Amino acid sequence: MKTRFLLTFAFLVAFAAPGARAQSFPDGDVFRPLVADPLETRTFLSVIGVDFEETQTTAASVGIGANLGFYRWPGERPGEGWQLGMFAHFASQFDLEGESYPLVNTDFRVGFALSFRSGEFSGRAKIFHQSSHLGDEFILQGNAPDREDLSVELVDVVFAWQRAGWRPYIGASYLYHTDPGTLNKWGIQAGVDYLGTSQVLFGGRLVGGLDVRSHDENNWRAGVSAKLGLAYGRPDPDRRGVTVLLEAYDGPAPFGQFYRDVISYYGVSLQFHH
């Protein structure tokens, strides 16, 4: 994996040699993050009620994510153009009803992204590595599933169309390397976001989204994520502030070590934009 990513990094740096109009290390991205996608790179804190194999518990889900743009080639209007960068993200779940609040699962993602926006159209292609790990205390409690050495590299592509705050999108993913090697390769994604511009409650702007992912590994069983809330702070393109969201999910678990299991959860989330 290390060799592949070093070669990819070298290729992208060569590809991104700045031209006459290229901006080095731009602020933000030309592609706006997907609101409801549970795998999106973001910094957040959620408290959720989880229903898993006839077991109910309360969990904290915590993530820290960052995007670093290398170069942006501006388009005709502000906020448009092409952008190349990298991202890193980890997300963990803690059982708030377990003794000492044990760590249950952690997913690490790191990779590169190429995004664009032109008028009402935008898109993003990512190539990245993900590895997933069970928490030690959770394993010692004796009720953890068998640990799996889960590690994948994949390509993920999404295209979107935006009009009057609404943004439907569609995408696909392909796992080009997997461990274990028996994992099925293809996945599809579709959804819609809404980002309001009017202040509706204490200066907040209405934001929401519905995201649906299906993967061949789960016999195309859909994982459905919905979020609805209020965004406070600076609007696009700065996007600095905090978003308060109600969230719900049903389908194959978006938590790596549990990818074969079907779960549902609901709760409240704080997303931090910086």
Asked whether residue 29 is domain-assigned, the answer is no
Give residue 53's pLDDT: 76
Give the predicted TM-score (pTM) of the model: 0.88
Asked whether residue 238 is domain-assigned, the answer is yes
- CATH number of the domain at 133, please: 2.40.230.10
Asked whether residue 167 is domain-assigned, the answer is yes
Asked whether residue 15 is domain-assigned, the answer is no
Number of domains in the chain: 1
Asked whether residue 123 is domain-assigned, the answer is yes
Give residue 181's pLDDT: 80
Q: Tell me how crowded residue 166 is: count the other CB atoms within 10 A of its CB.
A: 11
CA–CA separation, 217 and 102 (whole Å): 28
Give the residue numbers spanning the domain of 121.
Answer: 39-273
Give residue 98's pLDDT: 82
Give residue 260's pLDDT: 85
Asked whether residue 9 is domain-assigned, the answer is no
Asked whether residue 13 is domain-assigned, the answer is no
Per-residue pLDDT of the chain (274 residues; tens, 9 = 90+): 555 655 555 555 555 555 557 788 888 899 999 999 999 999 999 999 999 877 889 999 999 999 999 999 988 888 889 999 999 999 999 999 888 888 989 999 999 999 999 999 999 999 999 998 887 777 667 666 667 778 889 999 999 999 989 999 999 999 998 888 888 899 999 999 999 888 888 889 999 999 999 999 889 999 999 999 999 987 765 567 899 999 999 999 999 888 888 999 999 999 998 6
Asked whether residue 7 is domain-assigned, the answer is no
